[in-house]
């Protein structure tokens, strides 16, 4: 009997000890910090586990309502799951939080995140305002799939808009007029900015098209449609250039696919010569990966100087070309010259002579596939 009571006592003590251990262990568990939730959310984003990422970033905001990074990451997670209304709400909250901060709290890091939120907000707004919601699940049209979700890209887009917004607006307006003008829009500072980019920088503008900054020997601007970060659909491709005798501009207008001019299009070139005269050239036809391909038509309005005799000629000419290489070439004192059919020509002392250089196939400047 004594032994039985003793065993019962031991059992009760064991139960009490286990309960105390559980209570003590629970009390000693590490509390999740803001950084823990942010790290956990980033882990889930990397694993494309967006629902769990949403939970983690939401917890981070509940723990610290001023956690600006959490708003950006939460909005991106909502975008990935196509919850655009939730993304819009999150962005508005984050923007409101930043604007309520004191000057001391508005650190450089918070300012960069704030600017990124503004950019995403504009992309979301344009998407939600679209009448066609059938593409809601298409990654080609999801805001943030354009290369601007990355914080550094967001910062560069914000800088481009802030510093060079006026220049870009003027160029967009000029391109939409449909006429290539001999107007110098580029500034030295703008050119340096674009040349300093490590990769193309582009973003969606209000009308659903994209505006992109590219560098390929010269500075180029793309205005048009895109899919998955590639130029596709219809678009403009514009550049300005300077040479020893003057300056000029080129413009491709036409179809794109796989990030290159493909299909019908037009290349225009306008430039000044050493006498200050304006010269114009337009080539229209079909393009294959940026190269002239098929039957091309060339419109010319040019000036020339030969033995101190100035003149002007204009005309329309046709020729055949395959992947940038003219089909019919002849040789004379100028070298290899392209044979062209005269469609229309004005009287002049000298007609056009177009030399072909083997290392320079004809096509769209800055957009020929290697």
Distance of CA 229 to the CA centre of its chain: 7
Q: Which residues pair with 259 in a beta bridge?
A: none
Q: Where are the beta strands (DSSP E) in 52-167?
A: none
**Residue indicated by tokens 């799939």:** 145
- The pTM for the full model equals 0.59
3-state class (DSSP) for residue 331: strand
Q: Please tell me the total number of residues recorded for the chain in this structure.
A: 370
Nearest to 132 by CA among 141, 123, 120: 141
- Three-state DSSP at 163 gives helix
Interacting residues of 55 by C-beta distance below 8 A, sequence separation 6+: none
Q: Which residues contact 139 (CB under 8 A, 6 or more apart)?
A: 145, 228
Decide: residue 278, CB within 10 A, 0-12 exposed, 13-18 middle, 19+ buried. Answer: middle
Q: What is the pLDDT of residues 266-318, one digit of tens each?
A: 999 998 877 778 889 999 999 999 999 999 999 988 876 665 556 677 889 99
Give the Cβ contact number of residue 189 at 10 Å.
Answer: 10
Q: What distance in Å separates the CA atoms of residue 364 and residue 208, rounded to the nearest whole number?
A: 25
Q: How far does CA 170 lie from the centroid of its chain?
A: 18
- List, as one string, the DSSP characters of 150-214: SHHHHHHHHHHHHHHHHHHHHHHHHHHHT---------HHHHHHHHT-SS-EEEE-TTS-EEEEE
Q: What is the mean pLDDT of residues 30-57?
A: 85
Q: What is the pLDDT of residues 218-260, one digit of tens each?
A: 999 999 999 888 999 999 999 998 877 778 999 999 999 999 9
Phi, then psi, of 356 in degrees rounded to 5: -120, 130
Tokens, residue 44: 């889930």
Higher pLDDT among residues 147 and 102, named by residue? 102
% pLDDT > 90, the chain: 36
Q: Is the pLDDT of residue 134 over 80?
A: no
Across 126-130, 142-146, 319-323, the highest mean pLDDT is recorded for 319-323
Report phi then psi at 39, rounded to 5: -65, -40
CA distance 3 to 9: 10
- Banded model confidence at residue 12, pLDDT cuts 50, 70, 90: low
As a whole number of angstroms, the distance between CA 271 and CA 180 comes to 11
Q: Residue 105 is inside which H or E element, if any?
A: none
Other C-beta atoms lying within 10 Å of the C-beta of residue 342: 11
Q: Give the residues across from 326 on adjacent strands.
A: 321
Q: Where are the domains of the chain?
A: 1-30, 34-128, 165-345
Tokens of 56: 């983690």
Q: What is the CATH number of domain 34-128?
A: 1.25.40.10
Q: Which of 86, 92, 97 is nearest to 64 (CA)?
A: 97
- Torsion 192-195-201-203 (CA) sign: positive
Give which of 290, 260, 266, 268 is closest to 361, Cα–Cα. Answer: 290
Q: Which helix (H) or strand (E) holds 23?
A: helix 2-28
pLDDT digits (tens, 9 = 90+) for 307-334: 555 667 788 999 999 999 998 888 776 6
Distance between CA atoms of 364 and 324, rounded to whole angstroms?
A: 10
């Amino acid at each position: 009997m004594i032994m039985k009571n003793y065993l019962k006592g031991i059992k009760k003590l064991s139960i009490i000890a286990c309960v105390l251990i559980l209570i003590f262990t629970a009390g000693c568990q590490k509390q999740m910090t803001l950084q823990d939730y942010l790290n956990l959310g980033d882990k889930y984003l990397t694993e494309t586990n967006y629902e769990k990422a949403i939970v983690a970033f939401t917890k981070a905001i509940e723990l610290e309502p001023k956690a600006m990074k959490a708003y950006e990451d939460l909005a991106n997670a909502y975008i990935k799951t196509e919850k655009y209304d939730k993304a819009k709400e999150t962005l508005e909250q984050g923007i409101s939080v930043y604007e309520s901060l004191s000057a001391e709290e508005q650190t450089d890091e918070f300012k960069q995140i704030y600017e990124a939120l503004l950019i995403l907000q504009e992309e979301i707004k344009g998407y939600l305002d679209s009448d066609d919601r059938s593409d809601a699940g298409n990654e080609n049209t999801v805001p943030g799939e354009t290369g601007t979700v990355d914080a550094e890209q967001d910062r560069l887009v914000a800088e481009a808009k802030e510093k060079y917004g006026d220049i870009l607006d003027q160029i967009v307006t000029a391109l939409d007029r449909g006429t290539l003008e001999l107007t110098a829009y580029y500034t030295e500072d703008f050119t340096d900015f674009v040349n300093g980019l490590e990769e193309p920088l582009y973003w969606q503008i209000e009308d659903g098209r994209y505006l992109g900054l590219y560098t390929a020997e010269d500075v180029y601007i793309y205005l048009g449609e895109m899919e998955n970060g590639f130029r596709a659909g219809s678009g403009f491709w514009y550049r300005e250039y300077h040479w020893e005798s003057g300056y000029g501009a080129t413009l491709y207008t036409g179809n794109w696919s796989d990030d290159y001019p493909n299909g019908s299009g037009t290349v225009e070139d306008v430039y000044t010569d050493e006498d200050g005269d304006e010269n114009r050239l337009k080539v229209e036809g079909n393009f294959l990966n940026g190269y002239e391909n098929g039957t091309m038509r060339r419109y010319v309005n040019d000036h020339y100087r030969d033995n101190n005799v100035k003149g002007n000629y204009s005309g329309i000419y046709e020729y055949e070309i395959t992947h940038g290489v003219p089909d019919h070439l002849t040789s004379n004192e100028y070298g290899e010259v392209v044979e062209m059919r005269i469609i229309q020509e004005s009287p002049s002392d000298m007609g056009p002579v177009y030399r072909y250089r083997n290392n320079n196939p004809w096509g769209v400047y800055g957009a020929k596939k290697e």
